[in-house]
Homo-oligomer: A and B are copies of this chain.
Amino acid sequence: MNTETTSFVSGLPIASVERETGLSKDTLRVWERRYGFPTPGRDANGERLYAPTQVQRLTQIKRLMDRGYRPGKLLALDDAALIALDEARPSVLATPDVLQLDTWMHLVKTHDSEALQRQFYRELAKRGLAGFVQDIVAPLITRVGEAWSRNELGIFEEHLFSQHLEKMFRTVLANMQPQHGNPRVLLTTLSGEEHTLGLLMVEALMVVEGVYPVLLGPQTPIDEILRAAQLKQVDAVCLSFSSAYSPTLAAQGMRDLRQMLPAGIELWAGGYGVKAIRKPIDGVCLMPEFQDLYDCLEKWRTEHGRNPV
């Protein structure tokens, strides 16, 4: 019975578009009503069918929204203007190694897995873990994120890059298994923050410094963080926020958690997401830069008079 309807009024149903673009069905319908875009066709039953080109444009719009533009503006623009926005590159990196980063970016763009992996380990051996993370990995992650939002890089390259990093960190960590160590730190993210890489980076840096980490993975509800902290008897909880996480939500979440957490357990927070938090939060140690992590650690150790091991 499904003879040629598909080939005639072709296009993706709304559920597929939701999956592809990350825009909810409600949003897609309300945009159509308010802004006159997208303009899906209809199948025999009156259900929306989105043309692939429109889906592509929707993902482009979504990407620009993640960069801070608002839908009202974007949906009024034509193709040329959208592409112009894509090209606009506002950022300049503070790193001196811009040139070297370009070499790395080339490996990412050409998805040369083997070379990338080789380079990772070479640079790691050369700089040591801390230097490698600060000078290479962190700037590189930023660059990749920017390149993606500028459409120079596909999601595929970004995913592959993340997987290689994750593989490397987990291998390195597996070879550093600590049995003991102080302080004991619980590592996780709040619900809504899916990024694991930040946690792995922090864990690696901490293990080098003699910390005993408890990696919980991403997206733990606040009351479960509390329970975990008590059962695992940790000295501190460390959260990680990517730049995508709303600063307001992050601050609110930390206040909530701080209130429930016993005074004896410290609360630390790192990642690009905390750079956007201006006001300090009572009883929370914000670590926008890597250096702050070491400061936090040292402070804890002098206060508790304990050596790394």
Contact = CB atoms under 8 A, between A and B. Distances in A.
A111 B16 contact: no
Interface string A196-230: 00000000000000000011110011111101100
Contacts of A171: 170-171, 174
A232 B160 CA distance: 11
A25 B197 CA distance: 29
B188 A159 contact: yes
A281 interface: no
B159 A256 contact: no
Contacts of A225: 156
Contact of A174 (B174, B188, B192, B231): B174
Contacts of A160: 214, 216, 228
A249 interface: yes
Nearest to A174: B171
B194 A194 contact: yes
Contacts of A49: none
Given A12-B256, A13-B252, A171-B174, A217 B19 contact: no
Copy count, this protein chain:
2
Describe A's contact surface by its main secondary structure.
helix
B232 A111 contact: yes
Contact of A155 (B214, B224, B232, B249): B224
B59 A156 contact: no
Contacts of A76: none
Contacts of A224: 154-156, 159
A163 interface: yes
A200 to B, nearest CB: 11
Contact of A217 (B159, B173, B215): B159
Interface in A146-204: 154-156, 159-160, 162-163, 166-167, 170-171, 173-174, 188, 190-192, 194
A15 interface: yes
25 contacts: A15-B249, A15-B252, A16-B253, A16-B256, A19-B190, A19-B221, A20-B191, A56-B223, A111-B231, A111-B232, A113-B214, A156-B224, A156-B225, A156-B227, A156-B231, A159-B224, A163-B216, A163-B217, A167-B173, A170-B171, A170-B174, A171-B171, A171-B174, A174-B174, A194-B194
List 5 tightest A-B contacts by C-beta distance, closest first. A156-B228, A170-B170, A155-B224, A171-B174, A156-B224
Given A19-B192, A111-B231, A154-B224, 11 more contacts: A12-B256, A16-B256, A20-B221, A20-B222, A22-B191, A111-B232, A154-B227, A156-B220, A167-B170, A170-B171, A171-B174
